[in-house]
A and B are shown apart, each in its own frame.
Chain A
Amino acid sequence: MFNNTFIFGLLTGISLLVSFILDKDKTFLGLKKGGKMLFNILHPFLNILILISIVLFFIPDSLIVQYLGANSGWSGFGIAAFIGSITLIPGFISYPLAATLLSQGATYSVVAIFMTTLMMVGVVTLPLEIKYFGKKAAIARNVLNLIAAIIIGVLMGWLM
């Protein structure tokens, strides 16, 4: 994770430097705009992180492994999609978790559905998404991505 942060930070730094050399005023204006947007979104961000932290406490890793592990079968699909949709786990935690699931006997389909819904469907972030896109678009996007996740899962199970 720190490596990714470093690369992203480096790219940002280079962009800033180039921008600064080209036009000082524009750079400051850009930073001001970015800072304002960050400030506007900071408290919804923090509120969501608090909510997720509490939800995750009630759904520990061991429970996830229990329901998605070996012999979870078709119901595993539904559970994977459900858990993936309602939780929001950072990538650097979800990949080791997915690898654990595979070693516990979960199928590639279940893992693909879990990972895809985790990344693309967000029930806890829905209130924030509605603020940006409106109710109709936010709900449509989540439903379509949920369907896409199941298609991806079925195809992955067939191809792996």
Chain B
Amino acid sequence: MNKHLKNYVWVILFVLFSVGSYFIGFKPGLMIYYNFNEFFIEMVSFAPFLFMIIGLFDVWVPKEILEKHVGKESGVKGIFIVVLLAMLQAGPLYGAFPVAYVLSKKGASIRNIFIYLGAFSSMKLPMLGIEIGYLGIKFTILRTLISLPLFIFIGFLMEKIVGSDFRVEEVKT
């Protein structure tokens, strides 16, 4: 219990700060709270679903199958699969780290894990939809087409940089 309380010390302080700001009418405090509220809504709108999917993925997809398809020997097909997987996700980049952990645990190659992160960060289908709406279809398609080969290249580079004993750690409290 004490450990949990310690983990949430910043959250508790922030809640006190926001409530205090509200009562004394402290403008900057309220504006910070409004910022937080926007992020919080974004988080609760994807996190529960994302973690349900991660959990189901973990129990249903056997290690051998994933290893075979996106592991060390997977080649172009593996890249294609991780990019497709990333495009179907939702949420900001920090939501992709737990997925990277599961992929790593299941034997995905280092290259494919980082290609996944690249594709996740800027090729998610719902985001591409919004991007087309605001910045136009030409901008969106060009940006995606330029980004993809760079991400794949970064995947190969990362594999060289981090070495073969690299794995993604599980974050524990």
Could you say which residues of chain B place their CB within 8 Å of the CB of A91?
92, 127, 130
Stretch at the interface among A34-42, A66-74, A75-83: A34-42
Could you say which residues of chain A place their CB within 8 Å of the CB of B92?
88, 90-91
Asked if B171 and A54 sit within 8 Å, CB to CB, the answer is no
Tell me the residues in window 107-150 of chain A with beta carbons closer than 8 Å to chain B beta carbons. Answer: 108, 111-112, 115-116, 119-120, 122, 125, 128-129, 131-134, 136-137, 140-141, 144-145, 148
Secondary structure of the B contact surface, majority rule:
helix
Picked from B59, B90, B150, the residue with its CB within 8 Å of the CB of A33 is B59
Tell me the residues in window 28-55 of chain A with beta carbons closer than 8 Å to chain B beta carbons. Answer: 29-35, 37-41, 43-50, 52-54
Q: Is B154 close to A, CB under 8 A? A: yes
Tally A residues with Cβ within 8 Å of B.
Answer: 77
Q: Is B81 close to A, CB under 8 A? A: no
Asked if A8 and B154 sit within 8 Å, CB to CB, the answer is no
- How many Å lie between the Cα of A49 and that of B42 in the bound state? 10
Could you say which residues of chain B place their CB within 8 Å of the CB of A137?
158, 161-162, 166
Q: Is B33 close to A, CB under 8 A? A: yes
- How many Å lie between the Cα of A160 and that of B141 in the bound state? 11
Could you say which residues of chain A place their CB within 8 Å of the CB of B88?
11
Could you say which residues of chain A place their CB within 8 Å of the CB of B45?
1-2, 4-5
Asked if A116 and B122 sit within 8 Å, CB to CB, the answer is yes
Q: Is B22 close to A, CB under 8 A? A: no
Could you say which residues of chain A place their CB within 8 Å of the CB of B75?
none
Could you say which residues of chain A place their CB within 8 Å of the CB of B166?
133-134, 137
Asked if A16 and B52 sit within 8 Å, CB to CB, the answer is yes
For residue A148, give the distance in angstroms from its CB to the closest CB of chain B. Answer: 4
- How many Å lie between the Cα of A1 and that of B170 in the bound state? 29
Q: Is B60 close to A, CB under 8 A? A: yes
Could you say which residues of chain B place their CB within 8 Å of the CB of A49?
36, 39-40, 43
Asked if B147 and A34 sit within 8 Å, CB to CB, the answer is no
- How many Å lie between the Cα of A112 and that of B126 in the bound state? 18
Q: Is B24 close to A, CB under 8 A? A: no
Asked if A159 and B142 sit within 8 Å, CB to CB, the answer is yes
Q: Is B100 close to A, CB under 8 A? A: yes
Asked if B59 and A131 sit within 8 Å, CB to CB, the answer is no
Picked from B7, B57, B114, B127, the residue with its CB within 8 Å of the CB of A141 is B114
24 contacts between A and B (CB under 8 A): A4-B90, A15-B52, A30-B58, A34-B54, A35-B51, A37-B55, A45-B47, A90-B39, A96-B134, A112-B143, A116-B122, A120-B93, A128-B94, A129-B94, A132-B98, A132-B169, A140-B157, A141-B158, A144-B158, A145-B154, A148-B147, A148-B150, A151-B146, A156-B142
Given contacts A5-B49, A9-B49, A30-B59, 5 further A-B contacts (CB under 8 A): A19-B56, A43-B11, A49-B40, A128-B97, A131-B169
Interface residues of chain A, those whose CB is within 8 Å of chain B, are: 1-2, 4-5, 7-9, 11-12, 15-16, 19, 26-27, 29-35, 37-41, 43-50, 52-54, 56-57, 88, 90-93, 95-96, 98-99, 102, 108, 111-112, 115-116, 119-120, 122, 125, 128-129, 131-134, 136-137, 140-141, 144-145, 148, 151-152, 155-156, 159-160
